[in-house]
Each structure stands twice: as structure tokens, then as C-alpha cells.
Chains A and B, each alone.
Chain A
Amino acid sequence: MSAAAHSVVVPSTTAKRVAATLVIVYALISMIPLLWIFATSFKTPPDSIAYPPKIVFTPSIEGYCNLFTTRTRQTREYIDALPAPTGFCDETTRKRNMVIAGPSNFLPRFVNSLVIAFGSTFCAVFLGTLAAYGFSRFRVPLADDLLFFILSTRMMPPIAVAIPIYLMYRELGLSDTALGMILLYTAVNVSLAVWLLKGFIDEIPREYEEAAMIDGYTRLQAFRKVVLPQATTGIAATAIFCLIFAWNEYAFAALLTSGTAQTAPPFIPTIIGEGGQDWPAVAAGTTIFLVPILVFTILLRKQLLRGITFGAVRK
């Protein structure tokens, strides 16, 4: 009998082929929007709004030029009187009867995103590691309630939290500051960090520290020299999850920042050109914004499941 010839849990070749085809079709379809973003970022504005949508086109970096610059319309005579263009962006802009007026806000917004994401990740992971160790190794009174409390803060609707935070930050002068955003994102991320890291630290045998303490280490030394090196992978994975959250966050950023501390997600939708949204520039900004996350997703693929279930599901 065929069932006896190979293990029953190994599906037949036909079943595998059908499964593979369906999964690959789904994967390819789900990639279309992302490929379209990437393609659009290399189109010229006229190509981007062509009907039918252009799949074959001559690539251009005009979208990236427009993303990083602001431009003003000028008369042909004025442009002809200018000295020779200094680069591709200059030249393309002039062909559209415009001149580059200066840098756009994209770069400062992108830098804000970097500062706030890295700052809050560092704080959240630092606090989270300590708290996770505390919950993992000591009998903390009401530990389950405290852990639930910590998790529940992450589940609050962001707009509901934003109302009092808005008032509080106005009083404290933290509105539209990087520090305010770092504090807020730290508070949101620390819950994830505690839950994830507790799982990772639970997996490190207690015997290691106990042995170190018998050798004369204090509890703190054992934590620093034995537990932390063992938890490096877990800490790195947790940090990437926190980073991705802070990087992607929109609701708080849109409501609590407006200028100096604004991050990229609320900025990108506001990129407009002449006569509406400048889609190649938006696509260029989106591409630059998404690439780091793509890299992290590939790095994290083994830990992904753990991250999205707060450390509960480990395989």
C-alpha cells in the first residue's frame, strides 16, 4: 500500500505540486503592489499617469529628483539665460520649464524617523531587558497582573491615547519634539520588549547564573556577564521589532508632530507636484522608506512568528 510505503504525513507529489502552484500564484499577486511602487518610482510623471498603465517604460530618476527638491516654474527665457545645468536633476527640471529652488523636507523628515526610531528602540530594549529578567528570574508579587497590564497598554487605540498625551505634551512643552516622540514610542514598545525578551530569557538555563554566582559573581555581574551574552539573539530580534514599529508608526506622528519632529510616514502622503499628487516622487519616497524594512524582514524571518505573538508561539 502506498500509505505504508512512505510516511503518511508526507503528502503525495500531486498534492505538493498543486499546493506549490497556488502558493506561488498568491505570492506573486501579493507582490504586484510593491513591484508597482518600485516601478512607478522610476517613471516620469507623464508615464506614471498614462492610460493604460505602462508596464514597459524608459526608466528615469526624475521621481527621486522631485522627492529631494522643491521647484519653481520659470519662463523659457529665464531658464535659457541660466548657466549650464550641473546634473541630471537640474537638466530634467529645466526641460519641464522649472528650476530647482532648494532641498525638500524629505531628508529632514527621514532623519527624524531615524532618530526617533533608533532612540525609542534603544530605550525600550534597555528597559525591556531589565524588566524581562526581573519577571523571568524572581518571584514578583502579582507578576501575571503586571504582565497583563504591560501588554494591555499596547492594545489601547492610538487616537484614544493621543488625546490626553496631546494635552500633557502641550503643558510640558513636548509637543512636536523628538524627545516627546521617543518617550511615547518607548512606552508603546516596552510592552512588546518585555513579553518577547521574557520568552528569550526563560530559555536560558538558570544554572548558568547560579554557577557564576557560586564562583563569586554578584547577581548583577551574573546578569551582565552570563545572561546578556546568551540573550544577544533575542535582544537583536526584539530590537528589530521595536525598530519596525517605531519606523512604521503613523497615528501618533500625524497627530502629535507637525513640523520639526515630523517623521516620514505623515510626510510622504503630503508630497505633491503641480496639479495633484506627484506619484513618482511619492513612490520614490515610499521605496526608500520600505527598503530597510524589507532587509529586516528577511533577517528576521525565523523570529517573525515569535515577534507577532508577543513571544508566545515559538516555532
Chain B
Amino acid sequence: MTETSSTLLDRATEAAARRTPDGIAKRVRGLSDRMVAWLFIAPTILLLLAINIFPLIWAIQLSFTNYRANRPNEPIKNIGLSNYSRILNDADTWIAMQATAHFVFWTIVLQTVIGFTLAYLIDRKFRGHAFWTTIILVPMMLSPAVVGNFWRFLYEPQIGLFAYIVSFVTGLPTTDIQMLSNVSLAPWSIIIVDTWMWTPYVMLICLAGLRSIPDYIYEAAEVDRASNWRQFWSITLPMALPFIMLAVLFRGIENFKMFDMVNLLTGGGPGSTTEVASITLKREAFEKWRTGYSSAFAIILFVAVFGLANIYVKVLNRVKSR
């Protein structure tokens, strides 16, 4: 065929494509939408399968064995569910779960109360509120490990600023304020740092919740002569609730798996008073090298987080539809 006829043919196809319905036209001129969709999504899915799902399946398989990663040449024995039953019957597991629950509960309570109060105050829209909001947000963007590490210095009983300020305010001698080595204070030392870092997070989401309440509702309430107190309880709080829930759930998930800050501040000590689940897991997996056992532990934690994540997405979608 000559060159001219091939260009003619091209032109004819193009003309035909223009006249045909949209879907077919696109298929002629380039990849079909279906192809493009899969071409675009597949790399991400493949990466997640390779880096997240494949290892997860591997971990599930290991959780039924007595495998130890530091002894690769030892024969691997299948021991069924005994890792799981040992974990669930081990008193240490429940001590770790208690430490985790204590940490999660108090951080959520403090962050929600302080965060919501701050959001409510900022929503009074005083002059310069945008500037101060940005200042308040700074701690949550920083590395929990690097900043957590520095809090060890602030907590030093003799030379630390925290002990100095507390003793200045309360009159107690600084040697009494052993935040990291006192059994009853250590759990609070990690709660304080976490609250300092993450209250801004709760505040920011609550602020969005407060701003999503349309003015006309308050105006209607004012016409009905509802008191400020009444307006707060029957308008502000219920309408901001899904946002508060979102913040609480996310902080719950994050703190349930908390590792970095606690590892650097207390490392689980003194004794095992601050040994939250992730610290136990790290000890079992990377210090005692009980890989099979710790894989089972990891699966248990993962199932718990997965359940929470499920609820999180449901709340997220509810908030989104607002």
C-alpha cells in the first residue's frame, strides 16, 4: 500500500471514531478506560501485596511454628495453635494489655477533653486565632521518637526542666519527681508526652466539627430563647460528635500500637509498668528471637487493629457525607 492511502485510512478511522459513541471512540484513539483504570491501580495494589500482604501471610504461617529467626538452620516444627493458647494464657500478656489499656484510655480522655475545649475556644474567633492555632499544631508534626528522646532530658529529676517546674509549683523536692523510674509515675510520663503531642490532632478535627455546624441552627435556637448551656448540649456537642468520634478512634488505633515514644522514654520500664503491647512484641521478636510466638502475637494485635480500622472507616464515611 502507498503512503497516501494509509494516511487516508487513518483519517477515515479518525472520522469514524468522531462519529461513534464516546466509549468506542476512546478505544480507537488510545487505551480503553478499563485498561487505563487497571494500569493505574495495579502497581499500587501489587506493591501492597508484596510489602504488606505477602509478609502477613508468611507471619500467619510462622505463627503456627516454633521458628526462631536467629537459628535459621534448626528444623521448623509445626506446633498448631499452641503459640496462640500460650499467649492468651500468659499472665504477662495481660499485664501488657493492661498497660496498653491504661495508656490508651487516659491519653484519649485527656486529649479529647483538652482538644475539644481548645477547639471550642478557638471557634470564638478572637483576633489572631489562626496564628495561635498554627503554633498549637506544631508538636503533632514532629518525630515522636526524636522528641520523645528529648523528653528524657526534661524528665531528669535533678537537672530536668519538668521536675524543676513541678517542684516550683508544688513545693516538692525535685528528687521526689522521678518521672521515669518511679513505678507509679512512669505510666503518666508517657501519657503526658503523648497528650502534649497529640492534643492538637484532636483539636483540629473538633474544630472542623464545630465549623461544620451551620449558623442558622444557632439562630433558630436563639429565637427559641434556648440558653447558651442548652445550645451547647443540644446543638454543639451532638453535631460535633461524629468528628470527636473520628479523632478518638484514630488516636485509639495509633496508641494501641504505640512504640517509638515509649521505647525511647521508658523502654517498657521500670519493671514492666510501661510495657505496652508493641514493646512486648519487640522484646519477643527482636530480643528473645521467638519468631513463631511473636508472629502469633502480631496476628492477634493486627486483628484487633483491623476491627478498629473497620469502625474508623464507617465513621469516616459518615463524616464525609456531611
* A interface residues with partner B (beta carbon < 8 Å): 3, 7-11, 15-17, 19-20, 22-24, 26-27, 30-34, 36-37, 40, 48-53, 127-128, 130-131, 133-135, 137-138, 140, 146, 148-153, 155-168, 170, 183-184, 186-187, 190-191, 194, 213, 216, 218-221, 223, 244, 247-251, 254-255, 264-266, 268-269, 277, 279, 282-283, 286, 289-290, 293-294, 296-298, 301, 304-305, 308-310, 312-313, 315
Whether B91 sits at the interface, judged by CB under 8 Å, is no
Interface check B298, CB cutoff 8 A: yes
Scan B106-124; emit 1 where CB is below 8 A from any A CB, else 0.
0000000010001001101
User: Which of B4-12, B43-51, B80-88, B183-191 contacts the other chain?
Assistant: B43-51
Query: Which residue of B36, B114, B149, B215 contacts A219 across the interface (Cβ within 8 Å)?
Result: B36
- B281/A157 in contact, CB under 8 A: yes
Query: Bound state CA distance, A61 and B25, in angstroms?
Result: 68
Q: 5 A-B Cβ contacts within 8 A?
A: A23-B136, A130-B40, A159-B257, A219-B33, A297-B141
Main secondary structure of the interface of B (DSSP, over half): helix
Chain B interface residue count, Cβ-Cβ cutoff 8 angstroms? 115
Q: Are B48 and A8 in contact (CB under 8 A)?
A: no
Please indicate the chain B residues that have their CB under 8 angstroms from the CB of A279 in the complex: 153
Residues of A near B19 (CB, < 8 A) are none
Residue picked from A8, A153, A191, A312, most chain B C-beta under 10 Å: A312
B281 surroundings in chain A (CB, below 8 A) = 157, 159-160
Residue positions of B touching A, CB distance < 8 A: 26, 29-31, 33-34, 36-41, 43-45, 47-48, 50-56, 58-59, 62, 69, 114, 118, 121-122, 124-129, 132-147, 149-154, 158-161, 164, 174, 196, 199-201, 204-205, 207-208, 211-212, 215, 218-219, 222, 243, 246, 250, 253, 256-257, 259-260, 263-264, 277-278, 281-282, 285-286, 291, 294-295, 297-299, 301-302, 305-306, 308-310, 312-313, 316-317, 319-320
Q: Which residues from A are CB-within-8-Å of B153? A: 40, 277, 279, 282-283
Contact of B122 among A23, A156, A186 (CB under 8 A): A23
Q: In whole angstroms, how far apart are the Cα atoms of A135 and B36 in the complex?
A: 11
- CB–CB A30/B205 < 8 A: no
| Residues in B whose Cβ lies below 8 Å from that of A34 | 138-139, 142
Instruction: Give the complex CA separation of A266 and B141 in angstroms.
Output: 17
Residues on the A chain within 8 Å of B30, using CB: 218-221
Contact check, B150 vs A282: say whether CB atoms are below 8 A apart: yes
* Residue contact B301 to A157, C-beta cutoff 8 Å: yes
